[in-house]
Amino acid sequence: MTLRLQLRRFLGARIRQWRRFANEVATVGPHDDYAKMFHYFGYRAALMAPHGVIYNERYLSIGDETLIGPNVCLTAGINGDQEMLATPTVSIGRRCVIGRGSHIIGHWSIELGDEIQTGPYVYITDQNHSYEDTDKPVGWQTPSEAAVKIGSGSWLGANVVILPGTTLGKNTTVAAGAVVRGTFPDRVVLGGVPAKVLRHYVEGEGWVAGPL
């Protein structure tokens, strides 16, 4: 083994060790000063490092025992100085797990119930670009907003997109890659683009294929 290779292996091991240590130290818990900036930061909750973009913390609520994975973006509004109409603007319930790289971008109202889990890279927003004026660039038009609510006990697979105006019932399963808009009842399985009901639960029969 050459000296250069030995040095590379040694330095690589030290860097990885330091990175793990730095992320552990940078993870935010309820007793950290940074946690006091949030509207609510729950008992035994954790905001894992490295952190994604996070601002307007005073409008963000993280429930007890909830785990926010690394590189998750949590925002209210478009900058940290914006005054929001709802407090909290983004509310995440108790014992939730938000997968790494996910984005929860609130402008009006996003409410996640208790014991919700998401896969990685889930995107949840309550605001969409408008395109009514066909002579004006879409990015410069006034966006539209509609509240989002996700029922307790739900599971959102990897790369799911939840669009404004969506309401999911309790114990809903959303298949990976689905794009969801609309109102859906409790205990259904959603999938597709746009998402539709693939299975639903019937008392006395169990899970039944197809829509309600």
Which of these, 129, 194, 180, lies nearest to 151 by C-alpha position? 180
CA distances from 146 to 30, 37, 171 (A): 30, 26, 22
Name the token pair of 13. 């091991």
Burial class (CB within 10 angstroms; exposed 0-12, middle 13-18, buried 19+) of 184: buried
Grouping H, G, I as helix, E, B as strand and the rest as coil, residue 101 is coil
144-145/127-128 β-pairing: antiparallel
Contacts of 46 (CB under 8 A, 6+ apart): 27, 28, 29, 66, 67, 68
Cα 122 to chain centroid distance, Å, stands at: 6
Known catalytic membership, residue 129: yes
Kindly report the backbone phi and psi dihedral angles of residue 33, in degrees, each rounded to the nearest multiple of 5, phi listed first: -60, -40
From the candidates 31, 103, 107, 129, which is the catalytic residue?
Answer: 129
- Residues noted as catalytic: 129
